[in-house]
Structure 1
Amino acid sequence: MKRTTAKSPKERTTPASADPGNVTPPKRSVEDVNNQLYREAAQRILQAIEAGTSIWQKPWIAPSSHRRPFNAHTGLNYLGMNRVLLMTEMMANDWTDTRFMTYKQVQALAQDMKRSGTPDDELPYVKKGAQSITIYKVGRQEIKRPRVDSSGKPVLDQAGQPIVDKALGRTFLQTYRVFNANNIANLPPLPEVERKPTWEVHAEIEALVKKLGVPVSYEPISQAFYQPGLDRITVPERSQYKDSVTDGVVVYSAAAKHYSVLLHECCHATGHESRLKREMSGGRGSAEYAREELIAETASTYLMCELGLESDEVINQHASYLEGWAKLIKDDPRALFQAFSAAEKAADWFMQRHERQLAEAPQVPPQPAPSLVQGFGIPQQQVGGIGQGLVAVAQMPSSAVRINGLRPAGELLDAAVAGLNSGSLGPA
């Protein structure tokens, strides 16, 4: 993983210009920089797969109140590539705290707390030697063109000034570095809530499967599949799944195994032409097939995490998947960004919160904004733009904390970058 190490305030770095042997490299194009960043991100995923610490190979453990990585300063969820990279980093380090912040955000939080009267020795700071994690945010070049009339003369406004039209040009990647809460001192602990009863989680999944509107056939077979032409899911009968028991303790229930398979096929079904309209015609062994499997498995992993279902190294049963994904990643690093963006959309569709579903749903009167959780400073907030998220952390009378992951409507960029802009970075 690409990281940097936090420096002590007393440390100083010698400017590059002070090195007489320093030679300024030739300026690279935006395309060259983009390609390098895509390759670096893809290489990080490949390294995680080889180490066995990717989200498809290792169970996800996180507090029930916060099931996914989010920015503790803005309260916004990380999406797309950033979500996968941060989850992978948490798995590699056995972190359970899902909060991340940039160095400047930690400093800003400390300044706010100091103004509120917090003693200096209780202010948050990045621990010495802590390593940051590189994540990505998409930008788009702004092109300014003077408006001209049919004769080619500048068009002026009422004040006699030339009118300039602005347009969005090509996209480009930016990198940011964040620190996990485990590497930030004096952060308040994450509030815990009781996990939903198992029966309640299962009932919620069954209701969502029903809302998906795809017939599910349970048959005494050893495989599961989705048929795009028939828009039908076929899975093994529930009785075919058995609990995994270690030392007399059920570590992976038969029900969780069943739902992990069912959710995977449901995520395939989101790609139907009547829903998200993904390319699903590729045969086994093709790049298209590998991409669709990566989308479905990533989306179902998200759902397992969000719904609080226990997970296991299920994907290890399908080593060929990992091999196919590795080849896909090496051949086309940008395909990884596209797949993770598509996985976000697939998971959102299943959870009935895709932007298209929200736009078509009956309008509900807005609810009163919740109060802040003391020490978090995370207000309910609406964020515009692409692929951005909203997290409302509410202080309930029972002191329970509820997390609502929402996505505003609006899609400005193509699928290759739509999942990158989490909007959760703030100042670098």
Structure 2
Amino acid sequence: MSNGFKSPYQLITDRILQDLERGVAAWVKPGSSEGPVVASRPMNFSNFTVYRGVNTIMLHIACVERGWPVPAFATFNQVRKLKGSIIKGSKGEHVFFKSQVERDPKSAEEEGRAGPNGKITRTVLKGYTVFNLAQVEGIELDLPGLAKPSEIPSEVVALAQLVGVTLRHGGDKAFYRPDSDAVTMPVPESFESLAHYKTTAFHEIGGHGTGHESRLNRQFGKKFGDQAYIFEEIVAELCAAFLAMEFNVGGDLRHPEYIASWVKLLKGDNRAFYRAAAEAQRAMDWIRERAGGPSP
């Protein structure tokens, strides 16, 4: 291992902490995109695969940060096969995937778990590089044709009905109660914009609502500030981000008061953000399948 080596988990965590320590949630899109922007969700423009989990978040962050209007990416070889070229000086983005590797056992306990070939198999996170369409020359794409219409209803009432939570309006706070399986929202008119109302509802319904014991059965935590509570808030934030991408809705950070606790959690566990993004993806898969979309 060379000096300065960072694991993929640490690369992801460092990128998220870079903004959180400035009081910014990098995954929040500040406003709806203008122009012929395709969907929402980052995708590969060579094979039309939609990225998932932490890759969705990391590529979305890159688009927001670098002003790329189309969240479409491809590898160097994929661009070359399409008869295009990468603009000189372009810096690519990492895409991560899990892979199984074999190694010799290092203890008696591991020897007991070794396979027929005497090796231990473990899962590791690896990465490769992709480039945004804005970094490519010589390729013309039908941008509207890249769009993938969503099966998920964008209206808040319809989303609540789809998930199965009770939706109520009143008061000045938005929250979800697992014991009654109900979301309470201030009236839409009290929000700065309809987009802010929607992203708040996405957090409570798509985020916390999917974690109910009758659905994905996530741990909500016993009290404000404990590890499970903090982790669940990140999951709900990322669910809201996924849904906002789905419908090209801008918004803002729902719970800025949690940032310090998120920083502490991520500094203590460099896999926490990766796991939170995976849980948010699982929630999106559940919602999409319930809406009649393709099984994940």
Report the TM-score when normalising by structure 1.
0.58
Q: In the superposition, relative to structure 1, how do residues 339 and 178 fare at CA in structure 2: closer, same or farther (>3 Å)?
A: same
- Per-residue deviation at 1:407? 4.2
The answer to whether the Cα contact below 8 Å between 1:224 and 1:234 also exists between their aligned partners in 2 is yes
CA distance in 2, matches of 1:95, 1:330: 29
Matched, 1:103 2:103: no
Q: Mapping of 1:252-271 within 5 angstroms?
A: 253=193, 255-266=194-205, 267-271=207-211
**Could you say which residue in structure 2 is the equivalent of 1:191?**
143
SS in 2 for 1:283: coil
The answer to whether the Cα contact below 8 Å between 2:82 and 2:139 also exists between their aligned partners in 1 is no
Q: What CA deviation, in whole Å up to 9, does each residue of 1:177-204 have, x standing for no partner?
A: 11111111122144237x9xxxx9755x
**Could you say which residue in structure 2 is the equivalent of 1:216?**
167
CA distance in 1, matches of 2:101, 2:142: 38
Matched, 1:136 2:96: yes
The answer to whether the Cα contact below 8 Å between 1:79 and 1:344 also exists between their aligned partners in 2 is yes
SS in 2 for 1:269: helix
- Per-residue deviation at 1:86? 0.7
Unaligned runs of 5+ residues in structure 2 are 104-115
- Per-residue deviation at 1:293? 0.7
**Could you say which residue in structure 2 is the equivalent of 1:234?**
184
**Could you say which residue in structure 2 is the equivalent of 1:288?**
228
Output the aligned Cα RMSD.
Answer: 3.1
Return 300-309 or 83-92, whichever deviates more.
Answer: 300-309
- Per-residue deviation at 1:85? 0.9
Matched, 1:39 2:39: no
**Could you say which residue in structure 1 is the equivalent of 2:245?**
305
CA distance in 2, matches of 1:87, 1:138: 20
CA distance in 2, matches of 1:53, 1:210: 29
**Could you say which residue in structure 2 is the equivalent of 1:330?**
267
Q: What CA deviation, in whole Å up to 9, does each residue of 1:93-127 have, x standing for no partner?
A: 111111111111112222xxxxxxxxxxxxx1011
**Could you say which residue in structure 2 is the equivalent of 1:176?**
128
Which structure is higher in helix share? 2
Q: In the superposition, relative to structure 1, how do residues 213 and 319 fare at CA in structure 2: closer, same or farther (>3 Å)?
A: closer
- Per-residue deviation at 1:296? 0.5
Q: In the superposition, relative to structure 1, how do residues 176 and 407 fare at CA in structure 2: closer, same or farther (>3 Å)?
A: farther
**Could you say which residue in structure 1 is the equivalent of 2:157?**
206
SS in 2 for 1:333: coil
Report the TM-score when normalising by structure 2.
0.82
**Could you say which residue in structure 2 is the equivalent of 1:147?**
none
CA distance in 1, matches of 2:19, 2:253: 16
Q: In the superposition, relative to structure 1, how do residues 340 and 167 fare at CA in structure 2: closer, same or farther (>3 Å)?
A: farther
SS in 2 for 1:187: coil
Match of 1:73 among 46, 49, 69: 46
**Could you say which residue in structure 2 is the equivalent of 1:16?**
none
The answer to whether the Cα contact below 8 Å between 1:57 and 1:314 also exists between their aligned partners in 2 is no
SS in 1 for 2:129: strand
SS in 2 for 1:260: helix
Unaligned runs of 5+ residues in structure 1 are 1-24, 111-123, 144-163, 245-252, 362-404, 409-428
The answer to whether the Cα contact below 8 Å between 2:196 and 2:252 also exists between their aligned partners in 1 is no
**Could you say which residue in structure 1 is the equivalent of 2:110?**
none
SS in 1 for 2:217: coil
**Structure 1 counterpart of 2:85, which letter?**
Y
CA distance in 2, matches of 1:272, 1:201: 20
**Structure 2 counterpart of 1:69, which letter?**
P
**Structure 2 counterpart of 1:61, which letter?**
S
CA distance in 1, matches of 2:15, 2:219: 26
Paired-residue identity, %: 28
- Per-residue deviation at 1:240? 2.6
- Per-residue deviation at 1:299? 0.6
Larger Rg: 1
Residues paired across the two proteins, number:
277
